[in-house]
């Protein structure tokens, strides 16, 4: 079944998912864009799609794709509900990762059908993202009666739907932020340290180690973990903390992650409780 789709709004996620749904044969009725950047993105990824205000889109489209920041979602849904803009039988799909369909209750109480689909990837807001959607996992949530629609929409975008319980969406999103956003923080902190060492291209220098470590973790979990903690090398840890004193933010990150690594090394019996206690003391637990 092909649907008339409205996109709120033409941000990096909305414009790309809208383009993917249009490529799948759905009709893109309208999109909302306010900033010059969003307008330019809409022209590039959604050519010929009219730009309309939010209320007009909601009143005229069979499926409304709400691709807005998580924090803005409740206000938009409830505000439009107060205007009685949502339609009975209308499909309402949000792309927020941290919340489920409960946030859509003001609309579903008026008869709309609510779903949550969240692509587990980082968006650039360009056509490059369309290729990256192929095989991309999507966390999907919604009532069992209409959840097959979420599966179908994701499949049409060439993604892979994975069901996530509504009450687990917060934990699901925390996992992605920790494994994705915080990974960027750790790597860029390491790159800045290498710059201070005098290495002019720290990204290239770090790439083999970081790539191998990530690949090993994704394939084997902690089985391939190496370094001073799994060796129980407290002397090296003390040296690391000493040289990081001039980099207090990185030192704080290092200390927190080293403590976490100590607990995982102990759980996997890589080190003894006695050695773990020694490392905790060095790390200031």
- Residue pLDDT, tens place only, 200-223: 999 999 999 999 999 999 999 998
Q: Rounded mean pLDDT of the chain?
A: 96
pTM of the model: 0.91
CB 125 within 8 A of CB 12: yes
Q: What is the DSSP string of 259-271?
A: HHHHHHHHHTTSS
- Cα dihedral sign for 124, 127, 129, 132? negative
Element (H, E) at 192: helix 182-197
pLDDT tens for 131-163 read 999 999 999 999 999 999 999 999 999 999 999
Q: Indicate the angle between helix axes 273-283 and 234-243, nearest 10 degrees.
A: 10
Q: What is the pLDDT of residue 285?
A: 64
What is the rounded end-to-end Cα distance, in angstroms, of the chain? 58
Stretch 29-57: mean pLDDT, rounded? 96
Judged by DSSP in three states, 92 sits in: strand
Domains in the chain: boundaries: 4-164, 171-283
pLDDT band at 224 (very low <50, low <70, confident <90, very high): confident
Q: What share of the chain in percent tops pLDDT 70?
A: 100
| Residues 74-84, mean pLDDT to the nearest whole number | 97
The predicted structure's pLDDT at residue 153: 98
CATH of domain 4-164: 3.40.50.720
* Residue 117 exposed, middle or buried by CB count within 10 Å (0-12, 13-18, 19+): buried
List all residues 6 or more positions away from 267 whose beta carbon is below 8 Å from its beta carbon.
none
* 230-235 average pLDDT score: 96
């Amino acid at each position: 079944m092909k649907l008339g789709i409205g996109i709120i709004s033409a941000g990096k996620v909305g414009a790309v998912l809208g383009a993917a749904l249009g490529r799948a044969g759905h009709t893109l009725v309208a999109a909302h864009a306010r900033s010059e950047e969003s307008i330019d993105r809409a022209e590039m990824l959604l050519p010929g799609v009219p730009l309309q205000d939010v209320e007009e889109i909601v009143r005229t489209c069979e499926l409304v794709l709400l691709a807005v920041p998580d924090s803005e979602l409740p206000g938009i849904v409830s505000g439009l509900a107060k205007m009685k803009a949502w339609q009975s039988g209308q499909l309402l799909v949000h792309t927020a990762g941290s919340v489920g369909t409960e946030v859509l209750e003001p609309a579903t109480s008026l008869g709309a059908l609510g779903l949550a689909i969240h692509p587990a990837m980082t968006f650039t807001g360009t056509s490059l993202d369309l290729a990256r959607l192929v095989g991309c996992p999507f966390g999907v949530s919604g009532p069992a009666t209409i959840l097959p629609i979420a599966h179908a929409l994701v499949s049409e975008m060439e993604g892979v739907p994975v069901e996530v319980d509504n009450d687990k969406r917060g934990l699901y999103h925390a996992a992605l932020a920790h494994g994705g956003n915080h990974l960027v923080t750790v790597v860029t902190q390491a790159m800045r340290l290498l710059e201070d060492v005098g290495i002019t291209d720290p990204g290239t220098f770090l790439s083999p180690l970081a790539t191998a470590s990530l690949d090993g973790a994704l394939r084997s979990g902690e089985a391939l973990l190496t370094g001073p903690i799994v060796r129980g090398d407290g002397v090296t840890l003390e040296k690391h903390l000493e040289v990081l004193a001039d980099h207090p933010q990185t030192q704080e990150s290092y200390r927190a992650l080293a403590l976490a690594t100590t607990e995982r090394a102990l759980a996997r019996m890589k080190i003894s409780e006695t050695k773990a206690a020694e490392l905790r003391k060095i790390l200031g637990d």
